Amino acid sequence: MATSPLNSQIDLPTFKVLVEGQAIKDYYEVQSIQVEKGINRVNTAEVVIIDGNPADQNFEISESEDFVPGSKVQIDLGYHSTESMAFKGIIMSQSIKVRSSANGVRSMLTIKCSDEAVKLTVGRKSRNFKDKKDSEVITSIIGETAGIDKTVAATTFTHKKIIQYDCTDWDFILSRAEINGFVVICQDGKLNIAAPEVSGQAALGLTYGVDIIDFQAELESSSQLTAVECNSWDSAEQKLQSGQSVEPTVNEQSNITGKTLASVIGLSTFKMGTSVPEDASVLKEWANAKLQKSRLAKIKGYVSIPGSTLAELGTLLELNGFGARFNGDAYISSVSHTVERGVWTTNIGFGLDERWFSEIHRIESPAASGLLPGIQGLQIGIVKQIDEDPDGEYRVLVDVPVIEESGTGIWARLSNFYASNGIGNYFYPEVGDEVVLGFLNEDPRFPVILGSVYGKKLKPAYTPDSENKTKGMVTKSKMKLIFDEDKKVITIETPGGNKVTLSDDAKSIKMEDQNSNKIEMSDSGILLDSPKDIKLKASGNFTVEATSGVTVKSTGDASLTGNNVNLKANIALTAEGAASAALKASGQVEVKGAMVMIN
């Protein structure tokens, strides 16, 4: 059964402050104690002590060894010298303050403390985890930091890669924990990372008119979602992959369900998406985590009560006497203790924020690493100059209109699909071209040309059609490489009329020059055609061979000259002149056969 904070004597609050296991000196006049705890937050505490003597011009307690930063501290709270631990951590800082008023001068020492988990919040890191589950990654990261114990619930999916980029360990852990539907709870030097505990018996029970000081609660519909769908792009299958949420089990509070409240907005499905490929099981966990956050945000509020350490993060708080809309077991999301002027008050927050941790806190490093104000998104540039890079980096000078429409310009690197040492593609834009710029690290000093764009003023060489049949390249001097997707033809052409055509449609390869010379290969054979001479020349042998027959024909003279000319017929040899024929030699003439017939 839930216990009321009034079940014990609460007329005499007492406390202990221990540093390195030893109670602070009895004569230290503690002005106030403040302890702040919250889910997905690092617990903190603040102790204010009267210190400083203007006559001695000294702050004795401050300069003592009692409150040196880094020392371990514990704060116990209770009544009648029976205390329970309310905070455990380390001293982070001390500060002194002097206040003057009509009543004189008051000076004080403030000691600020944090849970050991604060060590995870300092220093941005980047690293790659391969073939790991989220729980394994989180366990590994926490294990690198001394002084922090941990309990991490197991996750199921093994990621091929998880990358922590330029963020603190704390921010990275929170982000990955949330996606798995987990909460992170600092518990006095130990991190508990698991799904919210939303069932069981509440340890603390409160009743309106009996044991509360202040109370505020809100039943809110806009945070409630009917269902959640998460999508990612499956590049292998070239289609969207989806994960659907299932209704979570949550704490029983109010006679109105989250699903009923979701009908106020009426959105059938809340969708989230990413362009990267994610496994279907990951998408489902993501969707479930979002719907769970929504349900735990149904009722949010706080209640102030006489001091009690029964209120613990991530447990249930039984509320009675607040009507059917708010009665039930609230989920405790924050606990604060205030001890001041002999009074101990505990403030309990319930209900979670429906937003992701990354929506509430800026976890990324600033644009341009904070070196100067960054530039976001892609920008337009106008090419100003392509040569004489003063640094010899082969960059292009561009004007960026949003920075300066026409001025000295900024040198931009040119992105290529293939660029290596002395090799690669070589296509520079023309002066006056409109280009798209990205910026390294969002730093406006370091643009990169990602590509050029067409527009009404800078038109393409061809007009697009619905079938997208024509592709190609046309240079400034009108040299062309054109692909006809419809007829499957590739054409290479110069402005002077020299052209090579490879055509599947005509089943041919044709070469033509500006002098009307032509070579054509087709299903009819090979044609060499010239309005003038054709010369075939070889430094070695020249062979003409055909399976069927060889015909040499000329409307003019035909001559065959060589040191030795051999004419050989496997069957018959005929030499004939329509008008006359001559067989002649400066030396011997031999005519030989089985029978020689003359005339």
Sketch out the chain's domains with CATH numbers.
5-116 (2.40.10), 368-452 (2.40.50.230), 470-529 (2.20.220)
DSSP state of 3: B
For residue 444, how many C-alpha atoms fall within 13 Å in the half-sphere facing its CB?
16
Amino acid of residue 537: K
**Angstrom distance (rounded) from CA 178 to CA 358:** 10
Contacts of 268 (CB under 8 A, 6+ apart): 226, 227
Which two tokens mark 171? 């921010």
Regions of the chain short of the pLDDT cut 70: none
- On whether the CB atoms of residues 191 and 174 are closer than 8 A, the answer is no
Q: For the chain, what is the radius of gyration of the CA atoms?
A: 43
Contact (CB, 8 A) for 115 and 313? no
Q: Look up residue 375 and give its two tokens.
A: 């530039």
Please give the Cα distance from 549 to 299 (Å, whole number).
98
Per-residue tokens: 338: 């205030």
Q: 379, 448 in Cβ contact below 8 A?
A: no
Burial degree of 27 (CB within 10 A; 0-12, 13-18, 19+): exposed
Q: What's residue 562's pLDDT?
A: 83
d(CA 177, CA 170): 10
Dist. CA 293–CA 182, nearest whole Å:
10
Phi, then psi, of 334 in degrees rounded to 5: -155, 150
Residue 300 identity (one-letter amino acid): K
d(CA 34, CA 345): 10
Model pLDDT, residue 44: 98
pTM, two decimal places: 0.86
Position 29, amino acid? E
What is the rounded CA–CA span in Å between residue 158 and residue 134?
8
Residue 130: count of CB within 10 angstroms of its CB: 10
In angstroms, rounded to a whole number, what is the distance separating the alpha carbons of residues 50 and 111?
A: 11
- Residue 321 to residue 301: CA distance in whole angstroms: 15
